[in-house]
Structures are given as structure tokens and as C-alpha cells.
Amino acid sequence: MPYVARVPYLSLPLLLVLLLGPAGAGPAGAVDRPGVELSKTQAGTGGSVTVTGSGWRPRALLTLLVCGQAEPSRGVTGGTNSCANADGRTVTTDAEGRFRRELPVVEPPVPCPCVVHVATVTGAGAGAEADAILQVAGHAVEPLPADRAGGRLSLLADTRLRGSGGLLTWFGSPPARTLVVTVGNVGTSPVKDPVFQVGTSHGVFAPQWQDQRWRGTIRPGGKARIELPVELAAGAQGDYTVSLKYGGKVLAEHPWGVGRPWGVTLFWVLVCLVVPAALFRAGLAVVDRVHPRHAVHAARPPRSRRLRLPAARRPPALPWVAPDAEPPRSTKA
């Protein structure tokens, strides 16, 4: 009995922790998930809607686009090619991760269902995105393709870049790698010949996306190893980020450090040394041709010849200078 009577008193602190723990964790979880709301869900071309958002990364640069063939649960199936990119807007979130921006309503290049697609451009939170349903009055509406609606790809393994640079890369040739990922189909229908978007970004610039089709079929519950080529511009150097997107969602990102092409630097150093030397030699050749130098040593007599004077002009030979001659002895006593 004494032991049983103490159980409620010992459980009281534990109950307080269990009750207060979820209450404190609720707002934090809400902030981590970005959200978007529209002032109205239907508008015609030429009008505008006010887009508000919360839960984004503070001081983040966002893009706001009207996209077709999209749903919030599936994303933009055709990527940014399904959006009205020319009429998009950008906004920067405040210190609390909120924003408010007016967006003009235009017809996207593909039929609806349409959404207002909001996504981060660059930075640590790149890849975060959210969609809000928008009905564009007067625009055509077509159902989403069955293979995209039922088939969904998800990343299953770490992303890696395969390959290395060579001698040509050292001299400024475009660096090239192969992006290798393993994805699985978590949907209810097979995905045949999926089209991925591979993007490369450098610094604060937005990724440059390129569509690449992978040939094959991924059945529901199955997985596949995807290999896609990635190439940068000639002379690229610095820190790059390779991103993989499918169905409007970023599946993976991988850093890529590209070394400096020192061969180009060596080439220009040699050019700066060789070209002035060649110009100097060419200048000397022109000067020698215009003002030739005369050979003055041709008129000089050879050093082996001796100057001989006539016999009348020769000085009398001294007796003690002649060969085998002895100096005269003194005749004094």
C-alpha cells in the first residue's frame, strides 16, 4: 500500500512534461514547413492576386510563378517549362520568414490545373517550395497524364558524381561528370521514360536547368539507378552545385568543386614572353636590312704578316743585338 500510494505523486512531474512537450514543439514544427496563401483562388487574365507566405527561411529570395499542369500534392509536373516565367515575380522574406507580394495573373504555356508556385532560388534552403491552387478563368483545363499522376519517384540512395578531369580540362576544356542517383517508384503506376531536369548553379546564381530523358520503366515499388551526364562551360572554376529535379520537385543536390585551369594561365604567360621576343627579333632583322653593317676588318692586313722596310731605311744593326753575338769587352786597363 505505501508503494502504491506514492505512484501518483511520482507520475505528476512526468505528466507535466508530456503535456508541455507537444505544446512547445507545435509552433516550431509549423515554422519549418513553408506555406502559401492567395487572396483569391480564381482570377482572370490581366488581374492580380496577393500572395502571402510564412514558415520560409529568413532573408531568402523566392520566385513566384503561375504554372499549369500542376497540383499541390504532385507539384509542377512539367517543371518550369510549364510556368509563365516572363511574368513571374521575386520577393525576399523578412526576419521571421514571411512575405507578401502581388502577382499578375497570366495564362501559362500549358493547360490547367494551375497553381502559384513559390520556390527558393539559392542558398542553404534552396529546394524548398510550396503551391497554392489558382483557377485562371478562360484558360483550357486538361487532366494530368496518368503515368505522372500515379507514378512518383523518390530518392533512395546518396547522390554522387562519377568521373574526373583530364589534360584537356587543365587547359580550359569543359568539365564533365556523370550524376549517379538511385530512385524508387513510390506511386501506384509505372513510370516510363521519365524526364529529369539537371541544373548547375554557381554562387548566388539560379540553376540552369536542362531536360534529360532516361530510357526505361520503373514499376511501382521498384527502383532504378539513374546516370545522367553533366557538363559545365569551358574554363569553369570554383564551387558549383548540381541539382536533380523531377515533377517540379528537387530530388537531390550535390556539390562540385572545379579546380582552376592552370594550363590556360601557363599559356598566357608563355604568350607574354614569346611574343615580345619574336617582335624584338623581327625588329632587329628589319634594321639590319635597312641599314646593313659593313665589314671593316676586311681592309686590315693579317696579323701574321710583318712590315718590312727597305734596306736603306733600316737602322744599323748593333753588334750585341745580332744573334750569337757577345757584347764588346772593355779595353781599359
pLDDT in tens, 307-322: 565 655 556 655 555 5
Same domain, 51 and 140: yes
Q: Quick one: pLDDT at residue 147?
A: 47
Q: What is the CATH number of the domain that holds 64?
A: 2.60.40.230
User: Dihedral through CA 52, CA 56, CA 60, CA 64, nearest 10?
Assistant: -40
Task: Give how far Cα 320 sits from Cα of 187, 308, 323, Å.
Answer: 130, 22, 8
Q: Which residues pair with 58 in a beta bridge?
A: none
Same domain, 154 and 99: no
Which range of 99-108, 249-258, 264-273, 292-301 scores highest in mean pLDDT? It is: 99-108
Same domain, 128 and 191: no
Which of 109, 144, 179 delimits the end of a domain?
144
Same domain, 139 and 177: no
pLDDT band at 278 (very low <50, low <70, confident <90, very high): confident
pLDDT band at 115 (very low <50, low <70, confident <90, very high): very high
Same domain, 54 and 98: yes
Q: Quick one: pLDDT at residue 76?
A: 81
Same domain, 137 and 154: no
Same domain, 138 and 168: no
pLDDT score of 282 more than 50: yes
H or E element at residue 146: helix 146-150
DSSP 239-276: EEEEEEEETTEEEEEEEEEE---HHHHHHHHHHHHHHH
Q: Is the pTM of this model over 0.85?
A: no
Q: Which residue has the higher pLDDT, 300 or 194?
A: 194
3-class DSSP assignment, residue 47: coil
Q: Is residue 11 domain-resident?
A: no
- Which pairing describes strands 238-246 and 249-258: parallel, antiparallel, or unpaired? antiparallel
Rg from Cα positions in the chain: 43
Side chain identity at 29, as an amino acid letter?
Answer: G
**128-142 per-residue burial string, b: 16 or more CB within 10 A, e: under 16:** bbbbbebbbeebeee
Q: What pLDDT digit, counting tens, does each position of 228-242 carry?
A: 999 888 878 888 899
Q: Quick one: pLDDT at residue 291?
A: 78
Q: Are 76 and 246 in contact (CB under 8 A)?
A: no
User: What is d(CA 152, CA 158) in angstroms, rounded to the nearest whole number?
Assistant: 18
Which of 98, 114, 144 delimits the end of a domain?
144
Q: Is residue 222 domain-resident?
A: yes
Q: Which residue has the higher pLDDT, 28 or 331?
A: 331
pLDDT band at 54 (very low <50, low <70, confident <90, very high): very high
Supply the mean pLDDT for the chain: 77
Residue 112 is classified by DSSP as: B
Q: Quick one: pLDDT at residue 245?
A: 87
pLDDT score of 266 more than 50: yes
Q: Which three cell numbers stand for residue 161?
A: 558524381
Same domain, 118 and 208: no
Task: Give how far Cα 74 sits from Cα of 66, 144, 172, 186, 222, Å.
Answer: 15, 10, 41, 12, 19
Same domain, 267 and 209: yes
Same domain, 121 and 164: no
pLDDT band at 155 (very low <50, low <70, confident <90, very high): confident
Report, in this order, helix, strand and coil percent for the chain, each rounded to 5: 25, 35, 40
Side chain identity at 330, as an amino acid letter?
Answer: S
pLDDT score of 218 more than 60: yes
Which range of 36-50, 68-82, 150-164, 283-297 scores highest in mean pLDDT? It is: 36-50
Q: Is residue 120 domain-resident?
A: yes
Q: Which three cell numbers stand for residue 8?
A: 501518483
Q: Is residue 304 domain-resident?
A: no
Which range of 112-116, 155-159, 160-164, 218-222 scores highest in mean pLDDT? It is: 112-116
Same domain, 183 and 274: yes
Q: Is residue 176 domain-resident?
A: yes
Question: In the chain, how many domains are there?
Answer: 2
Q: Quick one: pLDDT at residue 98?
A: 94
User: What is d(CA 130, CA 257) in angstroms, rounded to the nearest whole number?
Assistant: 30
Q: Which three cell numbers stand for residue 301?
A: 692586313
Q: Which residue has the higher pLDDT, 64 or 269?
A: 64
Q: Is residue 18 domain-resident?
A: no
Same domain, 133 and 156: no
Identify the domain containing residue 262 by its residue range.
Answer: 149-285
Q: Is residue 298 domain-resident?
A: no
Mean pLDDT along residues 145-168? 73
Mean pLDDT along residues 163-191? 83
Q: Is residue 131 domain-resident?
A: yes
